Amino acid sequence: MRDVAISPVEPVAAGTGQDLLTQFRAGSDAAFEALFRLHQRAVRGWIVRMVRDPGAADELTVETFWRIYRARERFDTGREFEPWARRIASRTALDWLRAQKPEYAVDSGFFAALPVDSHADPAVSDEIRRKTAMAFGRLRPALRIAATLAVIEERPYKEVADALGISVTAVKLRVFRALRLLRKDLQSQGITP
């Protein structure tokens, strides 16, 4: 498992952080702005992992914080802000993925946005990679998002479960189904993984 820090924000002093959350819950715009500036990087980082589109991630970060703002009265100040924000971000990303046309995931822009991986297996041809990515893009968003986070991004199942608001077992099941459907799709194209 890679040790990639999802939240690179500076830690806030406990008292100050608690005050900030209390003020935010009470409707303070200044507290909301402070929270936005403090957590936008972590929230955007989480979103970009799910949607794999930096341009859309900007828009979805704003949408996520808008939902956070609307739901502020339901926020439990005794809990941490970031897991709550991450759950809302996951729901926002899932809504966005559901609203996209299926071909979105397989158009040229999608591949252009992919990072260049110097560790890519040279034994896997570009054609197989492309077909695998296309088959993955045809999966249902709920399955795709679970597999993206757990398999591609290698986030722990517990973290994925918390972010998606489902159980660890449900995450494992979604990942298993996603990979099984992917294998079937590839087999139908003559690719045997």
| Residue ranges in contact with another protein by CB under 8 A | 1-2, 4, 6, 8, 29, 33, 36-37, 40-46, 48-49, 52, 54, 57-58, 61-63, 65-66, 69, 114-117, 119-121, 124, 128-130, 132-133, 136, 147-148, 150-154, 156-157, 172-173, 175-176, 179-180, 182-183, 186, 193
Four-residue CA torsion sign, 57, 46, 39, 97 = positive
**DSSP secondary structure of 85-130:** HHHHHHHHHHHHHHHS-GGGGGSHHHHHTSPP-TT--TTS-HHHHH
Q: Which is nearer to another protein, 19 or 58 (CB)?
A: 58
Q: Nearest 5°: CA angle at 183, between 180 and 187?
A: 140
Element (H, E) at 176: helix 168-188
Q: Which is nearer to another protein, 55 or 78 (CB)?
A: 55
Q: If you search the block for the tokens 């995931």, which residue do you land on?
A: 105
Shortest distance (Å) from residue 48 CB to another protein:
6
Shortest distance (Å) from residue 17 CB to another protein:
19
Shortest distance (Å) from residue 14 CB to another protein:
24
Q: Which is nearer to another protein, 4 or 26 (CB)?
A: 4
Cα 4 from Cα 171, distance rounded (Å): 20
Shortest distance (Å) from residue 37 CB to another protein:
7
Shortest distance (Å) from residue 167 CB to another protein:
13
For 110, counting Cβ atoms within 10 Å of its Cβ (0-12 exposed, 13-18 middle, 19+ buried), the class is middle
For residue 190, give the DSSP letter.
Answer: T
Say which amino acid occupies 89: A
Q: Which is nearer to another protein, 21 or 57 (CB)?
A: 57
Q: Which is nearer to another protein, 15 or 166 (CB)?
A: 166
